[in-house]
Amino acid sequence: MTRKLVAQLPFIVLLVVAFTFSLLTPKFATTANAANLLTQASSAAVLAGGMSFVLLASCIDLSVGSQMFFAAAVAGKLLLAYESVPLAIVAMPLVGVCCGAVHGLLVTWAGLAPFIATMASLFVLRGAGLWLTETRAMNLPAEFTGYADATVAGFPLPIVIACVTLLALTYLHRRTAFGRQIVAIGHDREEAYKAGINCSRTIWQVYLVSGVCCAIAGFISLTQLGTVSPSFGRDREFNAIAAAVLGGTSLSGGTGSILPGAAIGAILVTMVFNGLNLIDANPYTYPLITGTVILFAILCDAVRHRHFATR
């Protein structure tokens, strides 16, 4: 009974937040705003999906914002140099895969603690991206940014991309041996090893998935913003972790979901800032609120975890 209730908790919180904002401002509960909100949330949802995967395996990736930035920098450089949009679109996931591969190697082969490795990488990749862009904002051609307004069967492209990615991730998580083994590893890595799972390879692949998700999220954000600014992707890791954990993924590994979990979490986090925007909140409070949301998420996770641990 309690377990069922707790499983619905992210959804309930989402409803409560939405209800509160619609009381505060009439601009919130409109179709236009809902569409706007979902479009805004699409890149956050992809990031949160990738983060959920990493968290399911009981690891963490603090460098997602920098990976986004680095992939965007490479794409921007290619766009400006060769003026070929397909090249840029292909390059982004490749960059993501490479970043993920390196992180995976650092965590498995070199044996670093995941948060240390990815924290250092956060700075290294940001530095590498700044190097490519030379700390200047790169304005991208309209044929690239046009993707933000494109539609597929009447739905905005960003939302479609996010949905497809999340569905693919859910399939990976629920319906493949890889996903099931991640859950086992996240629950207890040593037992998983004893049960015959190649833990190192699986964790390495988890970081690949995370890298690709960063690249996809980077692509969505890039088309929406139209420029590679030096602060592109900064602090996105915080939102991703908050979204994943608010969506019900445990920080201690093994439990969680991509759909609906990560999606709800991402919408929730985006909604908070969308709502604050609409009620004309002091923009200087936003970082403060981000931090509070993460802290809230961690506390929720701790409570949830303890509740079931004593069972």
Partner 1 sequence: MVRTSSPLTAPSRHTSSHTPGQIEQRSEHPLLAALRGRTGVFCIALYLLCIYPFCPELASTGQVLAVVHNAAPLLVLALGQTFVLLLGGIDLSVSGVIALVSIISASFITRQWAWAPAWTAEPSLSIAAGLLLGAVIGAVHGFAVSVLSLPAFLVTMSSMMILGGAAVWITHGERIGDLPIPLLDAAQRHYFGLDISVWIAISLALVALIVLRRTLWGQWLFAVGQNARAAYLAGCPVTWVLISGFAWCGACSALAALLYTARMETASPTFPGEILLDAIGAAVIGGTSLSGGAASALGVVGGTLAISLMAQSLTLLNLAHWHVLMAKGSVILLAAFFDARRRAASAAELRS
Partner 2 sequence: MSETLLACRNVRKQFGSTVVLNDMTVSVPSGTVLGLVGENGAGKSTFLNILGGVLAPDGGEIELQGRRYTPANPIAAARAGVRVVHQELNLFPNLTIAENLFLDELPARWFGIDRARLQREATDMLRRVGLRRDARSLIRDLSPGARQLIEIGRALRTGAKLIVFDEPTTSLTTPESEHLFELIRELRSQGASIIYVSHNLSDVLRLADNVLVLRDGVVQTLDAATNLNESVLIRAMVGREMTQLFPRRQPQPERREASRPATLELRGLTRRNCIHDVSLRVDAGEIVGLAGLMGSGRTELLKMIYGLDATDAGEVLVDGVPYRRRCPRGWIKRGMAFVTEDRRQDGLLLDSNARDNTLLASWRQYSVGGWLQRRRASQAATQIQDELLLRGDRRVIVRRLSGGNQQKLVFAKWGLRKPRILLLDEPTRGVDVGAKMELYSTICRLADAGTAVLLVSSEQEELIGLCDRLHVMRSGKLVAELQRAEFSNEQILRHALDPEQIA
Interface with partner 1 includes 126 (CB under 8 A)?
A: yes
The window from 113-121, 180-188, 208-216, 219-227 that contacts partner 2 (CB under 8 A) reads 180-188
Both tokens of 91, joined, read: 């390059």
For the bound state, the minimum distance from the C-beta of residue 194 to partner 2, rounded and expressed in Å, comes to 5
Q: Which residues inside 189-208 make contact with partner 1, applying CB under 8 A?
A: 189-190, 193, 199
Q: Which of 14, 60, 83, 79 is nearest to 253 (CA)?
A: 60
What are the contacts of 2-5 at 24+ separation with CB within 8 A?
Answer: 2/307, 3/308
Q: Which CA distances in Å does 108 have to 15, 105, 172, 200?
A: 40, 5, 21, 5
Buried b (16+ CB within 10 A) or exposed e, 210-239: bbbbbbbbbbbbbbbbbebbbebbeebbbb
Q: Which of 1, 5, 110, 177 binds partner 1 (CB under 8 A)?
A: 110
Hey, which residues between 243 and 302 contact partner 1 (CB under 8 A)? 251, 282, 284-292, 294-295, 298-299, 302
Residue 204 CB, nearest approach to partner 2 (Å)? 18
Q: Which of 88, 85, 47 is nearest to 238 (CA)?
A: 47
Tell me the window of 29-37, 76-84, 103-111, 208-216 that interacts with partner 1 (CB under 8 A).
Answer: 103-111
What does the per-residue mask of binding to partner 2 show for 38-77, with x meaning CB under 8 A?
----------------------------------------
Site membership for partner 1, residue 231 (CB under 8 A): no
Other Cβ atoms within 10 Å of 98 Cβ, number: 17
Q: Select from 35-43, 90-98, 112-120, 210-218 the region that touches partner 1 (CB under 8 A).
A: 112-120
196 binds partner 2 (CB under 8 A): yes
306 touches partner 2 (CB under 8 A): no
Residue with tokens 């960063």: 214
Q: Which helix or strand (DSSP H or E) is residue 152 part of? A: strand 151-152
Q: Which two tokens stand for residue 33?
A: 């705003």
The stretch near partner 2 (CB under 8 A) out of 27-35, 80-88, 189-197, 208-216 is 189-197
Bridge partners for 152 per DSSP:
155
The yes or no reply on residue 84 touching partner 1 (CB under 8 A) is no
> Shortest CA distance to 239 belongs to which of 103, 47, 8?
47
Contact partner at residue 184 from partner 2, partner 1, none, CB < 5 to 8 Å by partner kind: partner 2
Which residue type occupies 218? G
Q: Which two tokens stand for residue 43?
A: 């890149």
Binding residues for partner 1, rule: CB under 8 A, are: 62, 106, 110-113, 115-117, 119-124, 126-131, 135, 189-190, 193, 199, 235, 238, 241, 251, 282, 284-292, 294-295, 298-299, 302
